[in-house]
């Protein structure tokens, strides 16, 4: 969470990004003693199944089930408040997901997805942060795929040079560092426990990560194009292991005094 963003700056950014009505929603400093709020974003939903495994299993089903399990695990710690962009099988636009995080004044935004890659031998999780230029071709392809979730008529427009300039000038250093720190914490928590793609921390221009005041990452939990990953993602015990590792990563993140320490 950007603790130093004032109402004027956030209002200007909202107008620049075309998010109607959000200019009047200033980010407030979290009150003393108030637990951090984590916004979980299960990807896809409703008419948008997301990636589809060769046997017909839907990404939207895995993301929702895992996010609900993670919500329960986080609440059980007693250290956080948790909100979700969806808790049932319904569709939410990409901008709608961002708007919900802003309205809730989230301290962290975690978007949860599953990959579908051209090479079926590729497997493992990967973690993405926002950048105007993709870190590599794979990151660019994943971002393009995820940014198409709203369909041809609803796909968010590319950021104009003017808005890109606003984004670059208003995105705080703390937010960039927070997003990168969260990505690294997830990769570290997964290491040797959850399979990871080579170079698992990547970046690209994901529409759902574009709010400049909320540390945000997009997690691809595995590849539905890979049979082993699909079995892992559909297995309850394996999902619980993933949830436990994510809970640990989030705990590490908020234990860093730079991110707002949470009492255990």
R_g (Cα) of the chain, nearest Å: 17
The domain ranges of the chain are 36-259
* pLDDT number for residue 30: 64
* pLDDT number for residue 8: 32
* pLDDT number for residue 118: 86
Asked whether the predicted pLDDT for residue 70 surpasses 50, the reply is: yes
Asked whether the predicted pLDDT for residue 5 surpasses 50, the reply is: no
User: Residues 28-33: contacts with CB within 8 Å, 24+ apart?
Assistant: 28/105, 29/3, 30/1, 30/3, 30/105, 30/107, 30/260
Share of residues in the chain with pLDDT > 90 (%): 67
Query: In terms of DSSP H, where are the helices of the chain?
Result: 7-17, 59-77, 94-103, 137-147, 161-170, 173-190, 227-234, 236-255
pLDDT in tens, 142-157: 999 999 887 755 444 4
* pLDDT number for residue 48: 97
Alpha-carbon dihedral angle through residues 168, 172, 176, 181, given to the nearest 10 degrees: 180
Q: Could you tell me the pLDDT band of residue 85, with boundaries at 50, 70 and 90?
A: very high
**CATH 3.90.79.10 is right for the domain spanning 36-259:** no
More confident residue, 136 or 3: 136
Asked whether the predicted pLDDT for residue 29 surpasses 80, the reply is: no
Angle between helices 173-190 and 236-255 (to 10 degrees): 140
Asked whether the predicted pLDDT for residue 230 surpasses 60, the reply is: yes
The chain-wide mean pLDDT, for the chain, equals 83
* pLDDT number for residue 256: 76
* pLDDT number for residue 211: 86
* pLDDT number for residue 234: 95
pTM: 0.81
Average pLDDT over residues 68-85: 98
Share of residues in the chain with pLDDT > 70 (%): 77
Q: Could you tell me the pLDDT band of residue 209, with boundaries at 50, 70 and 90?
A: very high
Q: What angle do CA 107, 111, 113 make, to 5 degrees?
A: 165
* pLDDT number for residue 169: 47
**Which of 3-17, 22-36, 219-233 is modeled with the greatest confidence?**
219-233
Q: Could you tell me the pLDDT band of residue 28, with boundaries at 50, 70 and 90?
A: very low
Q: Could you tell me the pLDDT band of residue 164, with boundaries at 50, 70 and 90?
A: low
* Lowest-confidence pick of 29-38, 137-146, 163-172, 208-217: 163-172
Residues 6+ apart with CB under 8 A from 41: 67, 84, 85, 97, 101, 109, 110, 111, 112, 208
Q: Could you tell me the pLDDT band of residue 22, with boundaries at 50, 70 and 90?
A: very low
Residues 6+ apart with CB under 8 A from 180: 129, 201
Average pLDDT over residues 91-115: 96
pLDDT in tens, 178-197: 999 999 999 999 998 999 99
């Amino acid at each position: 969470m950007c603790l130093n963003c004032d109402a004027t700056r956030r209002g200007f950014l909202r107008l620049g990004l075309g998010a109607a009505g959000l200019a009047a929603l200033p980010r407030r400093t979290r009150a003393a003693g108030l637990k951090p709020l984590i916004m979980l974003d299960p990807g896809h939903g409703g008419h948008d199944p997301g990636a589809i495994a060769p046997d017909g299993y839907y990404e939207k089903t895995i993301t929702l089930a895992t996010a609900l399990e993670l919500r329960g695990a986080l609440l059980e710690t007693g250290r956080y408040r948790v909100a979700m962009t969806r808790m049932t099988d319904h569709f939410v636009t990409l901008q709608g997901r961002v708007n919900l995080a802003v309205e809730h004044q989230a301290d962290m935004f975690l978007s949860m997805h599953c990959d579908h890659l051209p090479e079926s031998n590729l497997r493992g999780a990967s973690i993405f942060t926002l950048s105007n230029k993709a870190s590599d071709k794979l990151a660019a392809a994943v971002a393009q795929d995820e940014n198409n979730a709203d369909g041809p008529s609803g796909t968010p427009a590319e950021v104009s040079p003017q808005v890109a300039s606003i984004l670059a000038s208003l995105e705080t250093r703390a937010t960039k560092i927070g997003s990168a720190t969260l990505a690294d914490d997830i990769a570290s928590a997964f290491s040797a426990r959850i399979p990871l793609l080579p170079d698992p921390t990547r970046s690209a221009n994901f529409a759902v990560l574009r709010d400049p005041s909320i540390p945000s990452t997009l997690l691809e939990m595995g590849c539905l194009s890979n049979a082993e990953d699909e079995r892992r993602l559909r297995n309850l015990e394996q999902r619980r292991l993933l949830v436990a590792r994510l809970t640990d990563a989030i705990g590490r993140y908020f234990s860093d005094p730079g991110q707002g320490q949470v009492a255990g």
